[in-house]
Amino acid sequence: MATNAIDQTRRMLSLVTYLRERPGARVGDVARAFGITEDELIADLDVLPMCGTSFRGGDLLDIDTDGDRIWWHNPDDVAEPLRLAADEATALLVAARAVATLPGLREGDRQALLRATAKLEAAAGEAAGASARLSVTFESEGGVFADVDRAIAERRRLWLRYYSPARDELTEREVDPIRLFAVGHTYMEAWCRLSEARRTFRLDRVAEIKLLDAPADPPPVELRDLSEGLVQPAAEDPEVSVEVGPGGRWVAEYYPHDSAEELPDGGLRITLRTPDPTSLRRLALRLGRDGRIVAPQALADSARRAAEQALAAYGA
């Protein structure tokens, strides 16, 4: 089942109550109770210790697991009635007012947020006045996120104008969103009606987005395990060899690869697989004198021509 950010937040709030009542609960039992995989549960447990009664580093949730059972060591410490400091109240009010202006936010959620904000203002007293003089402006990705999140919640189709860096072009397409997730950047996984296949879209590359009235109806798909990263090459993907100098050794840290052989000059010969070898031309241009594609030959020639065209453009 697809999970959006709001669903995950609700689950984690319920998880806190669940674990408080079941000390030493087994990982498998908790995962089944919440209808998620054990890997998803462990990911939630990695986040919970960063939560608590104070964002200033006060009483955080001391929750850990040995892989079999889950232990919460300080449930009584964080169960005391909360008291907001002035800076905490200010931060909450500023954030609440900013979120209430997000495009795509469901009206019921917006009204609930405004009611909660009014109660917080009454409780904050003078701090509420100080917060009114502050404002937050979201980057464009925030609006895209809100529209995608709403489309997932309401099971509606989206229209996109999307920039593809591999082809250096904008395309228009309709997609049925499946889930939102973050791996470095924020992404939407969706069924693309243009390509009739599952595709992943980076939100900061969405140039324009519209929520359509048509219902979203993606075919049943098995969600990928992203615990090893977004890019997970398959054994049948084409093989590419890249040689880099000492200044290009970072490639081995950022790109999943089959092997990295040391070279006499302190560089590496890196062998990797990718479903779209042409996308590595951008890597070759970025490396400049610090690296080059050596195989397959057609890709190496293509990267060389792209570099020559770029240099010619600078000369012109």
Write the pLDDT tens digit of every residue in 46-66.
Answer: 888 777 665 444 567 788 888
Nearest-angstrom CA–CA distance, 158 and 189: 12
Q: What is the pLDDT of residue 225?
A: 62
Nearest-angstrom CA–CA distance, 226 and 186: 13
Which amino acid is it at 16? V
Please report, for the chain, the start and end positions of each structural domain, with discontinuous segments joined by +: 5-72, 140-215, 239-315
Q: Which of 33-42, 226-235, 278-287 has the highest mean pLDDT?
A: 33-42
Give the long-range contacts of residues 119-122, CB within 8 A, separation 24 or more: 120/89, 120/92, 120/93, 120/96, 121/93
Nearest-angstrom CA–CA distance, 39 and 88: 33
C-alpha R_g of the chain: 24
Q: What is the pLDDT of residue 240?
A: 85
Confidence of residue 258 (pLDDT cuts 50, 70, 90): confident
CATH classification (class only), 140-215: mainly beta
Q: What is the pLDDT of residue 1?
A: 44
Topology (CATH) of 5-72: Arc Repressor Mutant, subunit A (1.10.10)
Nearest CA-CA partner of 44 in 34, 54, 58, 59: 34
Side-chain half-sphere of 291: how many Cα atoms within 13 Å?
25
Region 75-88 average pLDDT: 64
User: Whole-angstrom distance between the N-terminal and C-terminal Cα of the chain?
Assistant: 54
Confidence of residue 250 (pLDDT cuts 50, 70, 90): confident
